[in-house]
Structure 1
Amino acid sequence: MMRSSGALALLALALPAAAQEARVVTTLDTGWRFLNDDAPDAHVPTFDDAQWPVVSVPHTWNRVGYYHHALGGTNSAETVDKRQGAGWYRLHFPTPPASAGKRHWLEFDAASRVAKIWLNGTYLGEHRGGFSRFRLDATAAMRASGDNVLVVRVDNSQPKADGPTADVLPLTGDFFVHGGLYRPVRLVSTAPLHIDLADFGGPGIRATTASASTDNASIDVAVRVANDGTRPAKASVRIALVDADGREAAATTVPTTLAAGKGGEVTARLDVAKPHLWQGTTAPYLYDLIVQVVQANGAISDALRQPYGIRTMAFDPDRGFLLNGQPYRLRGVGYHQDRDGKGWAISREDVAEDIATLREMGANSIRLTHYQHGQDVHDLANRAGMVVWDEIPLVSAWTLGGKREADPALVANAKAQLTELIRQNENHAASAIWGIANEVDFGNSLPAFLTGGTDGKELDPLPLLAELQAVAKREDPSRPTALATCCEGRLFGSDIEIPITAPAADLGGANRYFGWYFGAAGDLGPHLDGLRAKRPQQPLAVTEYGAGGALTIHTDNVMGAPVDSRGAAQPEEYESYIHETALAQLDARPWLYATWLWNSFDFATTVRTEGDAQDINTKGIIAYDHKTRKDAFYFYKANWNPAPMVHITGKRYANRAYRVTDIKVYSNTSSTDLMLNGRSLGAKSDCPQKICVWSGVTLDEGTNALVARGSHSGGMVEDQAAWTLAPETARVMVIDAGALVAGKGNGRVLGSDNWFEGGSATSLDTPANYGKPSVPAEIGGTQERDALATYRTGSFAYNVPVPAGRYRVTLWFATSSTQQPGTFEVKSGNKTLLRQFQPTIPTEKAVAEAKRFTIAAQDRIALDFVAGAGDARVSMIEIERLR
């Protein structure tokens, strides 16, 4: 239950023995009892909690999000817990030995989202905000010896007007706010003269690199010191910078006098000759900044040690991000802190695994979204050299209940959370940017799940943003502010009003999902050019881009039909397509200071029923288990990590629908050879964007063993995949026309729309929306409803590769009662198959009909659908080889 912190062991490396006793940190992790409900009298010390389950902290009761398959996670419909509301924690712990005259503070790294704390029946206080570290002075309530009873009530209720969390950000968002004590809890004991612990959860030490080069560096240090004793105190503050070998690189001592019960701040400058600079992922060198409070008699009354990296950072609208004066392109990811089976109660080891995974991919930056993240990820980012964007949870909404202006309490909460964010993270070398908002520029285009009872027409975020900008500049003028926008420059209807928010911060950031929620994939680059032209002096980044990718949903052609960004049709291959097209456009614009893809890992939300998951945002390039890598992960690894690698895409699409297919391999090697069942399909060299494609490969009936071998100067790397082409599938090819993802066949494998030219894809089904599934149309006359619901329409052609032979071709047409009359023709070469054809228009539910033909082919079957009085259409094409 009570364990000495590892921080003390670190201090022992550089501090004298007397200092090791100056501050005692006790971890309170085991022996807690928890109630997943409200219990109004639970704060009373004698309350009987014997029936409450015993838990360890970090802890959350929430489990949210699961897949409809066994890949990528362990949550299930039976194990999820989405309850939001009150929960209680109770802990008995002994007063530490030798506590006489000590000051005691309870330190919570996070408690979501509102916490009230009692010790031995004494109410210590409340913290409003689920993401920041906070401390409460527990000295008066601590017993001199023996048992203490710590009680914490948390409440993660979804904010609503006049509710208990109405003034606590975030008010909304596409992520789930877990409840509980999901980060560590500690007891911090100090002498009366100590480094100030009432510093908005910060260390009481502020260090800023004023200048740095390879020749010298200057670091400004400010230390807040508190005298909680009953007499004035003369003391000195010793500040030292110690290098990785334990040698002092710079040191100074500053005298101070503090009145009884008062605090003060001492400042100093450290000058470092020939400093080791923190150079990002190439050389993330860290010193130790050690601060000691020394009493007049020479005794050390408090001491603290923090890793510190010497670096300069700058942002230029033309040169991008500059690290130590040199251009350094930030290539990164967005990151949420939850994972399957744990929710937000993750360990330092979990975070270290995530950092290692992202470094394997080659990322050098993380956008910590959409709230303050813990000290573990900051510390590990420092050590890995990953540049960080920090952010507060001002997400999309700042009013409730139809109000046009933010309540004063909400404004105060936003400012408090920003102050905590800065105070707690400003000494991290990795922290580069203070994010003050995310997507507060929806205007009246706000999605239904985010509205909060307002239409957005008269909501103006600029006054709140101005206040936050002022807070950030007051707290830390050394770093720029930024915000991520959603909507400026997008094409909306004439009734949509969008506030322009980008000028409210120093840096611009654009969340843009071209090819997913709007527009075409190729629109991203020109759109960014337009934003830059509007504000040529403001550095610009892409803060989110991407697409959903379902592990068990696949397509044969990413252009087969529009993606269903609200529903099921979210194939893994389409996610890769969006990232491939986006990266080409981003790399062509070196003036962008950063790009952060969305998202690193799948994460929990309760507004989505999409892809092959429930309550999961599947835009991660790694699954919710934080282990299962999607194809897009390897695309970035090939482009961002120079270590030689090859990866065959589409491994999870193992049961293939078509005999002829393209095979795509991500490879950063100089030459890549592809083998199919032991025979070479040829080698490819220097593939554009590290994407090697073997087009029109004919698969063997049965098992297809694929081996990709990449040659490089140091040897060879290899990847393997196994596909199957069932004999019946090889004999009968079924094309689900108008479908990005083929419908489930009635006992057979169907392929998605492919080998077409022209026309457009549509469906008889009502499309899905946030959290609401699609509504399937009822279709009579068929056992293949899913396949016949979609269709291709207009004037279009199919050119289907087949071996020479005779084929029975069956064309299926499904038509609803709302179809307008109009004839069309279907041809195959010079032969007219259907002349002035009008599919049957039913009076009630949709009906299906089929037309069959025999066609002789040499190497392909050509089908031309020609509009006449009406658009041509086809719902499904069966091609059966005749023996």
Structure 2
Amino acid sequence: MTGKKYKSFVFLLACFLLCLNVFSQNRKVIPYNSGWSFVKDSSNNLSSIVNLNKPWQKVRIPHTWNAYDVMDDTPGYYRGTGVYKNTIHLNDLSVGKRIFLQFEAAGQEAQLLINRQQIKDHKGGYTQFIAEIGPFLQKGKDNEVILIVTNKFNENLPPLSADFTFFGGLYRKIAIIETSETYFEDHNFGANGIYITTPKVDSSQAKVNVVAQIKNSSNQQKELKLRNAIYSREGIEISFSETRILLKQNETKRFEQALEVKNPRLWSPQSPNLYRLKTQLIDSDGNVLDEINNPLAFRWYFFNEDKVFLLNGKPLKLIGASRHQDFKNMGNAVPDDLQIEDVSLLKEMGGNFLRVAHYPQTKSVLEACDSLGIITSIEIPIVNEITESEEFTQNSLHMQQEMIRQYYNHPSVVIWGYMNEVLLRPKFNNNKERQKIYFENIRILAQKLENLTKKEDPSRFTMIAHHGNFNLYNQVGLNHISDIVGWNLYPGWYGGKIEDFGRQLDQIHKDLKEKPLLVTEYGADVDPRINVANPIRFDKSIEYGIAYHQGYIKDILSRPFVAGAMAWNLADFSSETREETMPHINNKGLLTLDRQAKDTYWLYRTRFNDKPIVKISNWINRATVSDTNFSVQSINVYSNLNKLELFVNDKTVEAATVNDNIANWKTTLLNGKNKVLVRGYSNGGQLFADSTTIVLNLLPASLKSYDFRKPLLMSFGDTRSYTDTLGYVWLPEKEFAFGSWGYVGGKALFRENAPRQKYGVDKNIIGTEEDPLYQTQRMGLNKLIFDVPRGTYHIEFLFAEFNDEQTKLLYNLTGNENQDEKWNLSENLFDIKINGKRVIRDLNVAKESGYFTALQKSITAKSKAKGLIIEFDAQKGEPLINAIKISKIK
């Protein structure tokens, strides 16, 4: 979506959401996001916490204390207590009102104190909670508000573990709510007490049921009128219902009304027609005591006998992505406009489905889905494992109930979920009898959640998402509880081949025909800095990511029994325990952590959005070796047109046919900047085009002619090119040949038995942002020869040593839980000579910097007639090198 279109959409959506939040004069919602102070405190003593003498930091909500420590090189992040402090002044106008504080979320547990009195506890980091504070406020005084929040591990609170970061803090909005003494509420579950269903919908008529829970907190009986009215998007009232009701003193009671709409405009991804339902509570004098507005849409959906999803009677393949809620340098304290933009990017991509994973997210996301026609599932964070305790069970059930009641009125929601990969880390592997009991307790919890969900909302589907171990889930009995079974499948990534995905789909369908099949996760790590000519599994390259997604898209679309599929993930997200080329980030996203589109995003945009588009690949910085001032390079262009024309440096290149949304050329690029233009015509004859500049740095086979305007950069043990933070491109290693340059001898670090990445390591390298340069290595080399012209050169050696250790695969989704990674490397000691002169003596990388830590050694040297000859002499073990940078000084 262009910036202009996006701003227009956000403005229109904001106007619509404003309509939904217009309250009567007796219900006021006042933002309460400024004026807060914050301090960390690890004390478990309540008295100590509220009497802190530490310096307080001024913060604005949303806020998290983990925005930066999750990205540093120190393992772990702060999981402890944070204290927030503010004041509320009770004025004369508020006297006689009911006053509440509404917190959209606090990660993961919270205690609310007013004037040092503890009035509310809340467990769970992803749902809203509401506390009545009026009785604790003093008139004419600045009343102290303290919220104690903790994200420390709690074995009785999901999630216990997961491939995402458990950010702490008040990371969603806060509001003060004022109401009359009689008002709508369901505050035990953080909800507003209005529940809307559409039990009958077709194109000619729709029936609407509204349940309103009302509380009369006064000491008098109240005779009132309950009024519901439906408004079109244009603001025209098209249906209403009024009922006289009676509430005793201090009574909370539910009331139900029915409405009808003739010839409703149906809601769908193509036409997301939204109505507004206004619910009012009116006293005998006609005064509106309370008013709440909710979105309303008319649609019906089901799975047919072939388990194909139908919306409004028409088959619809559900295509989209899952989403986590964090953003670069913000953690999960992300403002609403960026949250809404995520949904608009999904819509622009052609997606019609969002899996809100693995926890409830801000209401702004669901409101955007309602407005844009994005169908959603939403789930609670029971991930990987459970605790076999009554407290864990009750917390899980309460979370599910909170989620359902808080998001009940979003027409985009069609699925409630409650478990994800819950058998991924089975406990008691060494005690099979005890493990059977554990598995049975998981099944019992799943059944309780299923029963609760169906009781709360029988109109929507339920879902559990499994990883690829079909037989284990079947054995435990989890394949037959929920309406839908989602499958998180990764053939061709965590194991196997891309081609195995289709076969796995066929087998699941054969073995579980009675259930709709959703692929709830699939994806491959894509590091946009890495390119490769011959992609292989786990190289993290753009090219492998494209091949992976192309294969999956074909298999998904060619199988009608696959009701839908959600790419994992819409955007990269924080996962502090991950290492690999981008430490602390799961980079399977179609967008980067700061929402820059990767090539994989453009593949989906051109495949699933019918609007014509031409988009040149993001690979615009390149380097290679060539004996001439040009090189034949591959250029990918993503498009949904049939044929495209390519122009390079204002010269025409032959047209290419678009196959599977990619047109490819092998064409000549010159050393330096190359102007690239691609254009094509739609079936209606309209021109569409894209242009860019590709910068190519050519290094000659003989460096005698190289001008060194850019440094020579080489990554050893690597077959990939890498673009660093300065935009420089590091070449994959090159073996020396007579009359040329490169390495002599040795071997690339290669782990034959590694289940994932074979070459190099995928561990976090401490002390650098350029991890890929230090993760591959050439060992046992004899020398490096660079036939550079005479001059003085700055040579920077990059080293990292890897110790002998065994690492359990944290996220092994192959279905084989018994694989781990191991490499055997010994300590190495060696000297380095340049043109016969010893410049580094007794280098012990591990001793000098530690294992998995970046070490740079810089040397200034003069070349001789034969250039630079760098020799490696082993004293113990083997010499090694990870990368080298050579710059000419003069």
**TM bucket normalised to smaller:** 0.7 to 0.9
In the alignment, which residue of structure 2 is the partner of 1:187?
A: 176
In the alignment, which residue of structure 1 is the partner of 2:36?
A: 32
Greater shift, 368-377 or 715-724, is seen at 715-724
Q: Distance in 2 between matches of 1:304 and 1:433?
A: 24
**Residue identity opposite 1:304 in structure 2:** I
2:167 alignment partner, SS class:
coil
In the alignment, which residue of structure 2 is the partner of 1:468?
A: 449
In the alignment, which residue of structure 1 is the partner of 2:372?
A: 384
Q: Within 5 Å, which residues of 2 pair with 1:86-165?
A: 86-157=81-152, 159=153, 165=154
TM-score (norm 2): 0.77
Q: Within 5 Å, which residues of 2 pair with 1:822-861?
A: 845=877
Q: CA deviation at 1:747?
A: 11
1:556 paired with 2:533, answer yes
Q: CA deviation at 1:617?
A: 0.7
1:339 paired with 2:327, answer yes
1:203 paired with 2:172, answer no
1:524 paired with 2:501, answer yes
Q: Within 5 Å, which residues of 2 pair with 1:361-372?
A: 361-372=349-360
Q: Within 5 Å, which residues of 2 pair with 1:212-231?
A: 212-231=201-220
In the alignment, which residue of structure 1 is the partner of 2:636?
A: 664
Q: Distance in 1 between matches of 2:435 and 2:780?
A: 38
Equivalent of residue 421 in structure 1, options 378, 385, 403:
403
Q: 8 Å contact 2:718–2:732 — kept in the other structure?
A: no
Q: CA deviation at 1:731?
A: 8.6
Uncovered stretches (5+) of structure 1, i.e. residues with no partner? 1-5, 67-74, 160-164, 400-405, 754-759, 790-814, 818-841, 849-874, 876-883
Q: Distance in 1 between matches of 2:575 and 2:150?
A: 18
Q: Distance in 2 between matches of 1:634 and 1:769?
A: 27
Q: Distance in 1 between matches of 2:750 and 2:20?
A: 69
Q: 8 Å contact 1:602–1:617 — kept in the other structure?
A: yes
Q: CA deviation at 1:516?
A: 0.7
Distance 1:466 1:81, change over 3 A: closer
Count of equivalent residues? 749
Q: Distance in 2 between matches of 1:142 and 1:111?
A: 22
In the alignment, which residue of structure 2 is the partner of 1:592?
A: 562
In the alignment, which residue of structure 2 is the partner of 1:575?
A: 545
Q: CA deviation at 1:362?
A: 1.6
2:468 alignment partner, SS class:
coil
1:620 paired with 2:609, answer no
2:549 alignment partner, SS class:
helix
Q: Within 5 Å, which residues of 2 pair with 1:320-719?
A: 320-399=308-387, 406-442=388-424, 444=426, 458-460=438-440, 461-489=442-470, 499=476, 501-559=478-536, 563-564=537-538, 569-611=539-581, 613-626=582-595, 628-656=596-624, 659-685=631-657, 687-694=658-665, 696-712=666-682, 713-719=685-691
Q: Distance in 1 between matches of 2:174 and 2:448?
A: 32
Q: CA deviation at 1:328?
A: 1.7
2:409 alignment partner, SS class:
coil
1:607 alignment partner, SS class:
coil
2:520 alignment partner, SS class:
strand
Q: Distance in 2 between matches of 1:446 and 1:725?
A: 56
Q: 8 Å contact 1:243–1:287 — kept in the other structure?
A: yes
TM-score (norm 1): 0.77
Q: 8 Å contact 1:702–1:727 — kept in the other structure?
A: no
Q: Distance in 2 between matches of 1:181 and 1:708?
A: 47
Q: Within 5 Å, which residues of 2 pair with 1:275-354?
A: 275-280=264-269, 282-316=270-304, 318=306, 320-354=308-342
Q: 8 Å contact 1:673–1:681 — kept in the other structure?
A: yes
Q: 8 Å contact 2:575–2:585 — kept in the other structure?
A: yes
Distance 1:363 1:101, change over 3 A: same
Q: Distance in 2 between matches of 1:367 and 1:13?
A: 26
Equivalent of residue 270 in structure 1, options 239, 254, 259:
259
1:383 alignment partner, SS class:
helix
Q: Distance in 2 between matches of 1:775 and 1:688?
A: 34
Distance 1:358 1:12, change over 3 A: closer
Greater shift, 42-51 or 385-394, is seen at 42-51
Distance 1:315 1:472, change over 3 A: same
Q: Distance in 2 between matches of 1:7 and 1:322?
A: 27
Uncovered stretches (5+) of structure 2, i.e. residues with no partner? 1-11, 705-711, 736-747, 753-757, 766-770, 786-796, 802-823, 827-873, 883-890
Distance 1:15 1:412, change over 3 A: closer
**Residue identity opposite 1:647 in structure 2:** K
Q: Distance in 2 between matches of 1:65 and 1:549?
A: 23
**Residue identity opposite 1:422 in structure 2:** I
**Residue identity opposite 2:180 in structure 1:** A
Q: 8 Å contact 1:661–1:699 — kept in the other structure?
A: yes
**Residue identity opposite 2:456 in structure 1:** E
2:37 alignment partner, SS class:
strand
Distance 1:653 1:845, change over 3 A: farther
Q: CA deviation at 1:437?
A: 0.7
Distance 1:20 1:737, change over 3 A: closer
1:59 paired with 2:60, answer no
Q: Distance in 1 between matches of 2:438 and 2:875?
A: 46
| CA displacement 1:851-874 (0-9 Å, x = unmatched) | xxxxxxxxxxxxxxxxxxxxxxxx
Q: CA deviation at 1:255?
A: 2.1
| CA displacement 1:95-141 (0-9 Å, x = unmatched) | 15422221111111001100000011221120000000111121211
| CA displacement 1:443-499 (0-9 Å, x = unmatched) | 649999xx9xx9899544211111110111011000010111102348x9xxx9974
**Residue identity opposite 1:417 in structure 2:** M
Cα RMSD after superposing both structures: 4.0
**Residue identity opposite 2:447 in structure 1:** A
Aligned-pair identity in percent equals: 26
Q: 8 Å contact 2:749–2:777 — kept in the other structure?
A: no
Q: 8 Å contact 1:173–1:395 — kept in the other structure?
A: yes
In the alignment, which residue of structure 2 is the partner of 1:805?
A: none
Q: CA deviation at 1:76?
A: 6.7
| CA displacement 1:219-267 (0-9 Å, x = unmatched) | 1111001111112222221111111122222111122222211111101
Q: Distance in 2 between matches of 1:296 and 1:752?
A: 87
Equivalent of residue 83 in structure 1, options 78, 81, 98:
78
1:726 alignment partner, SS class:
strand
In the alignment, which residue of structure 1 is the partner of 2:843?
A: none
Distance 1:261 1:458, change over 3 A: closer
Q: Distance in 2 between matches of 1:208 and 1:315?
A: 19
Q: Distance in 2 between matches of 1:698 and 1:135?
A: 64
2:93 alignment partner, SS class:
coil
Q: 8 Å contact 2:677–2:689 — kept in the other structure?
A: no
Q: 8 Å contact 2:50–2:116 — kept in the other structure?
A: no
Distance 1:213 1:698, change over 3 A: same
| CA displacement 1:535-577 (0-9 Å, x = unmatched) | 1121111111111111211111114xxx33xxxx311221122
Q: Distance in 2 between matches of 1:320 and 1:537?
A: 12
**Residue identity opposite 1:424 in structure 2:** Q
